[in-house]
């Protein structure tokens, strides 16, 4: 009996995109702990991935991450308690909170990018020469198409 789920058995595009992402995430977040950030989890990526350099409202973060405002507020509160973000009243709308990365939060973000690039280089070394560059080009084209729609 085949124990794989249907998307793995059929090797759908979702599976083919998700498997590398999940493995990359495991590697990056596992290494992040050794870099001095043991309290950051993959769930926190919803904040780090979507926050604007000038700050973002919790509601905007939630929308970009496709999650509820309550769930995003929970993540923001946890990161604020640990000193990675600061949430202050939005000057444009005092009812909303503006979330900004702190110095420590920027360090996490920069470390995540660096670890991601290192993991990509390791994966590229496991493929024939030029294949990772070709994959990046194709994924870049797909991202452009999706961003326009």
Render 70-85 in DSSP notation, one character per residue: HHHHHHHHHHHHTTSE
Residue % of the chain over a pLDDT of 90: 87
Take residue 93 and report the two structure tokens written for it.
């709308």
How many structural domains compose the chain?
A: 1
Residue 64 belongs to a domain: yes
What local confidence, expressed as pLDDT, does residue 130 receive? 96
Residue 115 belongs to a domain: yes
What local confidence, expressed as pLDDT, does residue 69 receive? 95
Residue 1 belongs to a domain: no
Check residues 67 and 8 and name the one with the higher pLDDT. 67
Residue 105 belongs to a domain: yes
**pTM for the predicted model, two decimal places:** 0.86
What local confidence, expressed as pLDDT, does residue 1 receive? 64
Q: Which domain holds residue 125?
A: 6-148
User: Which residue, 54, 48, 62, 55, is CA-closest to 111?
Assistant: 48
Q: Specify the length of the chain in residues.
A: 149
Residue 45 belongs to a domain: yes
Residue 22 belongs to a domain: yes
Residue 108 belongs to a domain: yes
Reported confidence tier of residue 135, pLDDT bands at 50, 70, 90: very high
Residue 141 belongs to a domain: yes
What local confidence, expressed as pLDDT, does residue 9 receive? 83
Spatial contact of 71 and 62, defined as CB atoms under 8 Å apart: yes
| Separation CA 56–CA 86 (nearest Å) | 11
Q: Which helix (H) or strand (E) covers residue 103, if one does?
A: helix 103-126
Convert the pLDDT of each residue in 21-47 to its tens digit: 999 999 999 999 999 999 999 999 999
**What average pLDDT score do residues 65-71 get?**
97
Give the number of other Cβ atoms within 10 Å of residue 92's Cβ. 8
Q: Which residues, in sequence order, are CB contacts of 56 under 8 Å at separation 6+?
A: 50, 64, 98, 99
Virtual CA dihedral for 91, 94, 62, 138, nearest 10 degrees? -20
Indicate if the pLDDT at residue 98 is higher than 80: yes
Query: Residue 108 belongs to a domain with what CATH number?
Result: 1.10.10.10
């Amino acid at each position: 009996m085949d124990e794989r789920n249907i998307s793995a058995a059929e090797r759908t595009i979702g599976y083919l995109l998700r498997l590398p992402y999940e493995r990359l995430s495991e590697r990056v977040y596992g290494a992040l702990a050794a870099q001095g950030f043991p309290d950051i989890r993959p769930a926190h990526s919803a904040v780090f991935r979507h926050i604007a350099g000038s700050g973002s409202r919790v509601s905007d973060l939630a929308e970009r991450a496709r999650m509820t405002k309550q769930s995003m507020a929970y993540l923001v509160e946890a990161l604020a308690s640990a000193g990675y973000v600061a949430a202050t009243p939005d000057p444009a709308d005092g009812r909303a909170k503006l979330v900004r990365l702190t110095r420590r939060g920027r360090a996490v973000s920069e470390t995540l990018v660096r670890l991601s690039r290192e993991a990509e280089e390791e994966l590229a070394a496991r493929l024939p020469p030029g294949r990772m560059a070709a994959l990046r080009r194709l994924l870049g084209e797909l991202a452009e198409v999706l961003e326009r729609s």
